[in-house]
Copies of this chain bind each other. A is one copy, B any other.
Amino acid sequence: MNLLDHDALEEIALGATVLGTGGGGDPTLGKLMAQQAVARHGPVQLLPLDQVPDDGWIIPTAMMGAPTVLVEKIPSGTEVLDAFKMLERRLQCRAVATVSAEAGGVNSMIPMVVAATLGLPLVDADGMGRAFPEIQMVTPTLHGVSATPMAIADEKGNQVLLETPDNFWTERLARAVTIQMGCSACIALYAMQGATAKKALVPSTISLAREIGHTLLTCREQKRDPIAALTALLHGRQLCEGKITDVRRRTERGFARGELDIIGTGQDAGTPYKISFQNENLVFWRDGQPEVTVPDLITIVDEQTGLPITTEALKYGLRVIVLGIPCHPQWRTPGGLALAGPRYFGYEIEYIPLGNDE
């Protein structure tokens, strides 16, 4: 039995930041909450997706809101349980497990709090294999799974249950409610039975996050090259090496949007690069041409340590390496690209699948 203890959470949080591609929210606060829950209630059992009973209900849990607020507005720790239990009452079921909707960022950790506190297993899977900013952007949407009934709870005792005709309406109503709750709230949604989950979720992403984190920590300890280890593990490649020369940010409709300029160094010396982001990094431009786009993963790491850098932490002068990582194949289907391809985010460019053997 795979048990997640204090140190495992440390590794998973680090790996989740790599999968968060700059967004998904800083996992630090969630990690502390999860580690506290594990200290109090014992380690979390990680349940392989294929071992979930076909007729057992699993309820994903998460935080929703602006990443910049999440790090300052500290949850009480009970609201995510409130959301989970509200959904159980609505469904008149007892869930056999919880699961992460988003393995990238803070939402790798929030379901750990639920699992540890309620003594439930956590399914080794998620609904993205990365981070995305909106509720409907999960693989379950591609399989016709409804986001609703969805429960939203805050630390003030507000609880909201949504039932919507589609997952875009869920995002719209939940976003408005979350803003009123103070730009961060806890949610439970996309409840599904095991048989559906096996098709609709991305398997093994929690294990993958742990392996990423473990690799980075081991490289640091053993003074090995973290970049080579990461690209090998994730079947990705180094897109560039350089220095950040400018970061332009604006807050639009509750999102952190902007662009980042990098001037190449080393073998890339002098080449201008740009990354466009909306919470997550969305498009990587080489010399004015798009080279890698969402839904593939674009992750910025520290040149020396290989440690991931979130969008909030980007600043002039940082020496960085940009990694490209292929997304899960579900995102490369026409449905996946319609849901989370570059055009959905407003870029009039085609998706160019990132090769993993260049």
Contact = CB atoms under 8 A, between A and B. Distances in A.
Interface in A142-174: 156-165, 169, 172-173
A160 B158 contact: no
Contacts of A159: 162-164
Contacts of A158: 162-165, 169, 173
A173 B161 CA distance: 12
Given A157-B164, A160-B160, A161-B161, A177 B169 contact: no
A83 B342 CA distance: 38
B173 A165 contact: no
A109 B164 CA distance: 27
Nearest to A172: B180
A176 interface: yes
B156 A165 contact: yes
Interface string A33-76: 00000000000000000000000000000000000000000000
Contact of A176 (B164, B169, B180): B180
Contacts of A157: 164-165
A352 interface: no
A179 interface: yes
A328 B126 CA distance: 57
Nearest to A151: B161
Copy tally for this chain in the complex stands at 2
Given A176-B177, A180-B176, A163 B160 contact: yes
Nearest to A175: B180
A340 to B, nearest CB: 22
Name, among A163, A165, A169, the residue most crowded by chain B CB atoms within 10 Å (CB to CB).
A163
Nearest to A82: B163
A169 B169 CA distance: 22
A158 B172 CA distance: 11
A126 B243 CA distance: 67
Nearest to A161: B161
A159 B180 CA distance: 18
Contacts of A165: 156-158
Interface string A102-130: 00000000000000000000000000000
A164 B158 CA distance: 4
Interface of A: 156-165, 169, 172-173, 176-177, 179-181
13 contacts: A158-B164, A158-B169, A159-B163, A160-B160, A160-B161, A160-B162, A160-B163, A161-B162, A161-B163, A176-B177, A176-B179, A176-B180, A177-B177
Given A158-B164, A160-B162, 6 more contacts: A156-B169, A158-B165, A159-B162, A159-B163, A173-B177, A176-B177
10 smallest CB-CB distances across A and B, nearest first, come from A161-B161, A157-B165, A159-B163, A176-B176, A176-B180, A158-B164, A172-B180, A173-B180, A160-B162, A158-B169
